[in-house]
C-alpha cells in the first residue's frame, strides 16, 4: 500500500543551493571532516552526510563558501527533502518517491536520516523530477519548487 502522500510529514521541499557527492578512500575520514568543517559556516541550511565502510567513504552535502575547491566542482546536484519527521513503521515512502523518478528516467542519490529522507538529482533533471512527482500526486511545500 502506498504511503499517504497528502500527509504534511510527506510533503516535499526543494532545498536551496547546490549539493555535492564524492567518493573517497575510507582512510580519508579525518582529513575530509577537518577540511569540510574548518572554514564552512552554518547558515541554518547546512547539510552534510558522511558514510564510511571498509570499501569507501561517501560524502554528500550542500556546498558552502569556504569548502575546498574540489567540492565546488562536484556541486552539480539539487536536493529534495521529505518534510518529516516520519515514523519508522511508515513503509514504502522512499520507494513511492523513487518510482515516478524511475519512470521519468531521473537518476538519484538517496540519503536517509533518523527523521527523513533526502533525494539528490542532477541539476539538469530538477524540473523533470518536479513534474514527475507532481503528476504522481506528491505535494510540494509552497515556494520550494
Least confident of 60-64, 86-90, 105-109, 129-133: 86-90
pTM of the model: 0.88
Q: How is the chain split into domains, by residue range? A: 1-17+77-145, 19-75
The Cα 55–Cα 43 span in angstroms is 32
Residue range 1-17+77-145 forms a domain whose CATH class is alpha beta
pLDDT tens column, 65-117: 888 888 899 999 999 999 999 888 888 899 999 999 999 999 999 999 999 99
110: which strand partners?
Answer: 119
How much is the mean pLDDT over the chain? Answer: 88
99: which strand partners?
Answer: none
Query: What's the rounded mean pLDDT across residues 16-24?
Result: 93
In sequence order, the 6+-apart residues with CB closer than 8 A to the CB of 24 are 32, 56, 57, 58, 59
In sequence order, the 6+-apart residues with CB closer than 8 A to the CB of 94 are 110, 112, 117
Whether 50 contacts 89, CB under 8 Å:
no
Amino acid at each position: 500500500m502506498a504511503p499517504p502522500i497528502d500527509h504534511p510529514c510527506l510533503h516535499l521541499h526543494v532545498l536551496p543551493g547546490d549539493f555535492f557527492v564524492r567518493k573517497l578512500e575510507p582512510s580519508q575520514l579525518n582529513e575530509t571532516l577537518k577540511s569540510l568543517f574548518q572554514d564552512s559556516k552554518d547558515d541554518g541550511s547546512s547539510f552534510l552526510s558522511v558514510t564510511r565502510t571498509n570499501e569507501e567513504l561517501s560524502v554528500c552535502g550542500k556546498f558552502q563558501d569556504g569548502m575546498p575547491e574540489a567540492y565546488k566542482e562536484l556541486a552539480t546536484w539539487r536536493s529534495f527533502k521529505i518534510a518529516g519527521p516520519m515514523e519508522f513503521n511508515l513503509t514504502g515512502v522512499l520507494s513511492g518517491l523513487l518510482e515516478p523518478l524511475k519512470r521519468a528516467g531521473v537518476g538519484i542519490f538517496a540519503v536517509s536520516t533518523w527523521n527523513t529522507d533526502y533525494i539528490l538529482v542532477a541539476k539538469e533533471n530538477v524540473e523533470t523530477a518536479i513534474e514527475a512527482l507532481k503528476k504522481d500526486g506528491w505535494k510540494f511545500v509552497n515556494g520550494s519548487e
